[in-house]
Chains A and B, each alone.
Chain A
């Protein structure tokens, strides 16, 4: 069995940040593995550890900078990795879910996995759409917002729990091959071991561009474009308590007592 895991290196914005044009200034950003993808990697790797003949392949769309993050996925136990990049992607103000799905589908067609795991969403742009769009591109079945995954012994059906709102979950049987978008909390992601990190340096990381994948510039056509980026205006009516911790704590205690806390 082969499991393909899509991972994304996401940008986190520092508490104090600046926006320049249509981007957050590079100096305000910290790059890291998308939290949801970390759970997807764990789900694939732990399944591979407890079953025979399971290959875990990681794919990521991103510039060379991402290789450190991709190596982290390898260090956690993935077998090999593919990075897709093309300078033409940097010319886009935003890479739409449809374009990401088109690129990932081209990789998936080459790899022919039984299962594709993605995160529910990425913490930076938060579209939450790429995984299910990818399933439709591939003609795979799918389930979104999965918080429990049980892959059947005959590899034809998986039983999943989908997280709905309000603490409700839905139980669904899904025919394979399928794409599952993985929710946080589904497992306990491991930390990479020192041995894993050393081993990851020598593991295969193939780099492909659009031409390698049989795609052309028209596959990057997107009808959605970023027009502006700004800090949201706060409609806050918050009263900030100021001073040393002792002063703010004293003032807060007064407020709480007035509100009737611990009468």
Chain B
């Protein structure tokens, strides 16, 4: 048996999550005494294979396909590869594209799937850790099956950068083109606009705690007082209270300002992914258990509507 990691790429480059995936795969493979296989599907596949030839990887399986991502193609290639090498664990990054085919892969292979895991231990079977209720609760789950599909949360494992000595093999599979019932027609950018939050030194970022669109003026007043730029977490964008180019997070922009002031933001993992590298993080939130305080440098546990006007007053003096 073996561990099989499914690499992800975009715009001709391997994505960082794939290097983290190799770390998770190598640790698991070592625990289980199994080889680590990596599969990459796309083009230029030789370039991908050399990027993935990293410490701990025994074999990189390549499938040359001039297409960025098609879940039907991924499924067909991986199912046939699994037939050939019978991996115990299939590891994928917990990303939009994995969400688009990993559950189907699990059903087709009749394997259990556990998603968004933050740690993997080998005991009797596998024991994985994952969060529930928006990171408020941590659970461990036992997988009582020799064969499983697991997606791992981005940024939980360090990336592997040390080079390896992997064999590179082209996967020998045939694609049934009639089974491909979806066609990618293009790509677009959601977040275009004149404000570039990635350039700001100080960001005042607002979340669900602001309650209503009218209350946003409080945040703009604070930004004015601090010479800062206004950013936001996802619910504000979903409600159309601010345009998408203000969104910080996994599906928005990644920012690293000198000061990031999170107002009424709970700190869901998707948001944190977009701002955790800020130099100093300040959080104002009424919930002392809000995950934002896990990464904040300074915190105020109080009603933002009481605190923020006082801060504005201090700076307007």
B158-187: CB near A (< 8 Å → 1, else 0) gives 000000000000000000000001111111
B199 within 8 A of A: no
B110-142: CB near A (< 8 Å → 1, else 0) gives 001111100000000001001111111111111
In the assembled complex, the CB of B73 is this many whole angstroms from the nearest CB of chain A, namely: 13
Task: Tell me whether chain B's interface is mostly helix, strand or loop, or mixed.
Answer: mixed
Alpha-carbon gap, A159 to B134, bound state (A): 31
- A98 touching B289 in the complex, CB below 8 Å, given contacts A141-B181, A261-B227: no
List residues of chain A with CB within 8 A of the CB of B190.
Answer: 147, 163, 167-169
List residues of chain B with CB within 8 A of the CB of A234.
Answer: 293-294
In the assembled complex, the CB of A88 is this many whole angstroms from the nearest CB of chain B, namely: 18
Q: Which of B74-94 contact A (CB under 8 A)?
A: 94
- Residue in B100, B184, B239 whose CB lies within 8 Å of A171: B184
| Chain B residue at smallest Cβ distance from A229 | B139
- How many residues on the B side are at the interface (Cβ–Cβ under 8 A)? 98
List residues of chain A with CB within 8 A of the CB of B183.
Answer: 172-173
- Whether the Cβ atoms of B295 and A171 lie closer than 8 Å is no
- Whether the Cβ atoms of B187 and A171 lie closer than 8 Å is yes
B215-246: CB near A (< 8 Å → 1, else 0) gives 00000000001111000001101111000110
B314 within 8 A of A: yes
In the assembled complex, the CB of A87 is this many whole angstroms from the nearest CB of chain B, namely: 23
- Whether the Cβ atoms of B234 and A24 lie closer than 8 Å is no
In the assembled complex, the CB of A241 is this many whole angstroms from the nearest CB of chain B, namely: 5
- Whether the Cβ atoms of B258 and A260 lie closer than 8 Å is yes
In the assembled complex, the CB of B238 is this many whole angstroms from the nearest CB of chain A, namely: 4
Alpha-carbon gap, A94 to B96, bound state (A): 24
Alpha-carbon gap, A175 to B294, bound state (A): 44
Q: Which of A187-241 contact B (CB under 8 A)?
A: 188, 222-232, 234-241
- Whether the Cβ atoms of A145 and B100 lie closer than 8 Å is yes
Alpha-carbon gap, A230 to B71, bound state (A): 36
List residues of chain B with CB within 8 A of the CB of A130.
Answer: 103
Q: Which of A98-139 contact B (CB under 8 A)?
A: 98, 101, 120, 123-133, 135-137
Interface residues of A toward B: which range?
35 or more
| Chain A residue at smallest Cβ distance from B266 | A15
Contact surface of A with B, Cβ cutoff 8 Å? 11-13, 15-17, 19, 24, 94, 96-98, 101, 120, 123-133, 135-137, 141-145, 147, 159, 161-175, 181, 184-185, 188, 222-232, 234-241, 245-246, 248-250, 252-253, 255-256, 259-262
Q: List 16 A-B contacts (CB under 8 A).
A: A94-B141, A97-B115, A101-B107, A132-B99, A132-B101, A133-B103, A141-B182, A171-B184, A173-B182, A174-B181, A226-B140, A227-B140, A228-B139, A229-B139, A230-B139, A245-B310
